[in-house]
Chain A
C-alpha cells in the first residue's frame, strides 16, 4: 500500500520544489534588476550637473575625475582650511567625490604645496596630467601661478598646471567698488566660519576671516585677498555718461580658487567662480 502513495506524492513534491526554485530564480533576477537599476540612478545628477561642482586643484576633467576618484577623502584630511567636502548621494556617481564650495570656504593655497594633490592615491588630483588625458582649451595656465604669500621666496610659484575655474563679476551692480563704496568691518559678518591665511598674522596658521576686520576707503577685498599674483585687478572704467568708476577685472592667471567669492561682502556675492570654466579672454 505504501508504494503507490509514495509514488503519487513524489511528483507533487518535485513540482512544488520546481515552483520554489522558479520563484527563487525570479526573485534573484528581481534583486539584480532592482539594485542595478538603483545604482544607475546615479547617472541623473551627473548628467544634470549644471553648474558643475568646483573640484580641488589638480583635478582631472570631470568625467575622468569621477571615474578615477576612489572616494577616500584623503584630500579632505590634509587641507589646512577644510575647504574640501565630499559629495553626498544626491551627487549620484559623485558620491564621496571631493568638491569645494567657495562661498563657504575657498581654497586659499595656505598649504603652499597643494597638499590635496600630494595626498591623492589614484591620480585624480595630479600635478602633471598623463598625456593620454586631454587638456581642455583654456584650462592650461600660461605660466605657473605666483603665490603672493611666497612672492619673496626663492620658489614663489604654485605647482599647478591647470585652473579649476574662473572668477566672474556676476553682478556688477552689487559690487561695492563699482558703487564707489568702501568697506568697514568683518568681510562676511561675525558668524562666518570661513578661514584664511594672513601673512601679517601667521604664515602657517589660517584664522577665521571674522577675526580680521577691514577698514577700506574703497572696497577691493577680492583684489587684496586674491592669493595669486596678477589674477585680478581694479580698473578704472569710463561709463557712457562720462563718469568713471572702479571695477574688478579677472585676468588670465586666475586659477579659480574662490577666495574672491568667499570674501565678497555683498550678499549674494557680486563675484563668483564658474567651476571648471576655461579662459576665453578678458571680460569687460
Chain B
C-alpha cells in the first residue's frame, strides 16, 4: 500500500524514495550480479552487442495515434460517421465518448451534468482504466506526437551545446491541475480548454486550421529551445487526470531487476523518468515491479532496453496464463 501511495505522490511531484526494505531475493540477485565484476562487464557488453535497436513499440504507437486521429478526420470529411466529434467529445458508432479532463472542466464550470455527459465520461473512464490511463497521452494525443519530434530536435541542439535544458519542478503540474479546476469553478469558463493543444490540434485536424495553431507552435518552440517536453511534463492537467485513472489499471510496464545492468538508457528516453527510478541500482525492492501511474506506457524504454528488463504486462493475465 505504501508503494502505491509513494507512486501516486511521485506523480504529483514528490521525489522518488529509496526502498526501506529490499527483499531477500533481490538482495541475492544484486549480490550475484556484482559478485564477479569482469563477468558482469562481459555480460553487459555481450547484451549491448546483441541488442537489436528496434523502434517496434514506437512505430506501433505512432500508427495507432495516427489511425485514431485520422478516423476522426475521415469520419467527418468522407462522412463515414464512425468516430464523430473531436478528442474532447465524440461518438463512436453512436456511443458517447467524452474526454475525462474536458468533462471535468465542463462539470466544474457549468455545475450541471446531463445524462449523455455522464454516460460518455463513464465509458471513457472504463476504457482508460483498462488501457492504462496515461496511455491516452502517448497513444492518442496528437500533441504528444509533435512534442516527440520537437524533443528529438531539442536533444540534438543540446548535444551540439547550442542550448541548455531547463527543468521545472514536477509538482508544477499538480499546481496547474488544481488552478485550472479552481478557475473553472470560479470563472464559470472552461479556461484550460482555451490553451489545450490537444483540443486545438484535434479540432484543427478535423475542422481545418485555426489561428490557435500559433499557440501550439509557440509551445513547441518553447520545448525545443528552452525546456524538454515542458507542456506534458509540467503543465498538462489532462495527463494528471488520466494518470489518476491509470493507478487502477492492470496494463503497465514492469521492471525485472534480474536482467538490468542499471545503465539508465531507459531514463534518458523517458517522458517521466521518475517512474523509472526503480531501475537505478539499489532502488528495486522486488524482483518484478510495475512502473507508477505517471507512466504513459509509450514503450520507448521497452524498445531501448538491451536486456528485456522492461516489458509490457497485464496484471493478473500472466498469472492466469
Residues on A close to B: CB < 8 A? 24-25, 27-28, 31-32, 35-36, 38-40, 42-43, 46, 63-64, 66-74, 76-77, 86, 88-90, 92-93, 95-96, 119, 121-123, 130, 132-133
**A to B CB contacts below 8 Å, 18 in the list:** A32-B175, A32-B179, A40-B191, A63-B188, A70-B117, A73-B86, A74-B85, A77-B76, A86-B210, A88-B212, A89-B210, A89-B214, A93-B194, A95-B194, A96-B200, A121-B85, A121-B98, A133-B112
| B91-109 contact mask (Cβ, 8 Å, vs A): 1 or 0 | 1000010110011001001
Minimum CB–CB distance from B90 to chain A (whole Å) comes to 6
Provide the main secondary structure of the chain B interface.
helix
Pairwise interchain contact B211-A42, C-beta atoms closer than 8 A: no
Nearest CB to that of B105 among chain A residues? A70
Minimum CB–CB distance from B31 to chain A (whole Å) comes to 29
Pairwise interchain contact B210-A70, C-beta atoms closer than 8 A: no
Counting CB contacts under 8 A, is B116 at the interface?
yes
Bound Cα distance from A94 to B232, whole angstroms: 24
**Count of B residues near A, CB < 8 Å?**
56
Pairwise interchain contact A95-B90, C-beta atoms closer than 8 A: no
The answer to whether residues A74 and B91 also contact, given A88-B211, A93-B189 and a CB cut-off of 8 A, is yes
Pairwise interchain contact B195-A35, C-beta atoms closer than 8 A: yes
Pairwise interchain contact A27-B166, C-beta atoms closer than 8 A: yes
Nearest CB to that of A40 among chain B residues? B191
Counting CB contacts under 8 A, is B207 at the interface?
yes
Bound Cα distance from A113 to B133, whole angstroms: 38
Minimum CB–CB distance from A238 to chain B (whole Å) comes to 50
Which residues in window 203-253 of B have CB below 8 A to A? 203, 206-207, 210-212, 214-215, 230, 234-235
Nearest CB to that of A64 among chain B residues? B110
Minimum CB–CB distance from A50 to chain B (whole Å) comes to 18
Chain A residues positioned under 8 Å from B112 (CB to CB):
68, 123, 130, 132-133
Counting CB contacts under 8 A, is B192 at the interface?
yes
The answer to whether residues A89 and B212 also contact, given A31-B172, A121-B98 and a CB cut-off of 8 A, is yes
Counting CB contacts under 8 A, is B6 at the interface?
no
| B131-150 contact mask (Cβ, 8 Å, vs A): 1 or 0 | 00000000000000000000
Bound Cα distance from A90 to B195, whole angstroms: 12
Pairwise interchain contact A123-B102, C-beta atoms closer than 8 A: no
Chain A residues positioned under 8 Å from B99 (CB to CB):
70
Counting CB contacts under 8 A, is B287 at the interface?
no
Which residues in window 66-89 of B have CB below 8 A to A? 75-76, 84-86, 88-89
Chain A residues positioned under 8 Å from B183 (CB to CB):
36, 39-40
Chain B residues positioned under 8 Å from A27 (CB to CB):
166, 168
Counting CB contacts under 8 A, is B190 at the interface?
yes
Pairwise interchain contact B120-A121, C-beta atoms closer than 8 A: yes
Pairwise interchain contact B215-A70, C-beta atoms closer than 8 A: no
Minimum CB–CB distance from A123 to chain B (whole Å) comes to 4
Pairwise interchain contact A71-B88, C-beta atoms closer than 8 A: yes
Pairwise interchain contact B203-A74, C-beta atoms closer than 8 A: no
Pairwise interchain contact A73-B195, C-beta atoms closer than 8 A: no
Instruction: Please list the 5 inter-chain residue pairs (A to B) with the smallest Cβ-Cβ separation, ordered nearest first.
Output: A72-B89, A67-B109, A89-B212, A123-B114, A68-B110
Pairwise interchain contact A32-B172, C-beta atoms closer than 8 A: yes
Query: Which residue from A31, A40, A42, A67 sits with its C-beta under 8 Å from B188?
Result: A67
Bound Cα distance from A132 to B112, whole angstroms: 9
Minimum CB–CB distance from A213 to chain B (whole Å) comes to 29
Minimum CB–CB distance from A46 to chain B (whole Å) comes to 7
Chain B residues positioned under 8 Å from A39 (CB to CB):
180, 183, 191-192, 194-195
Bound Cα distance from A71 to B76, whole angstroms: 15
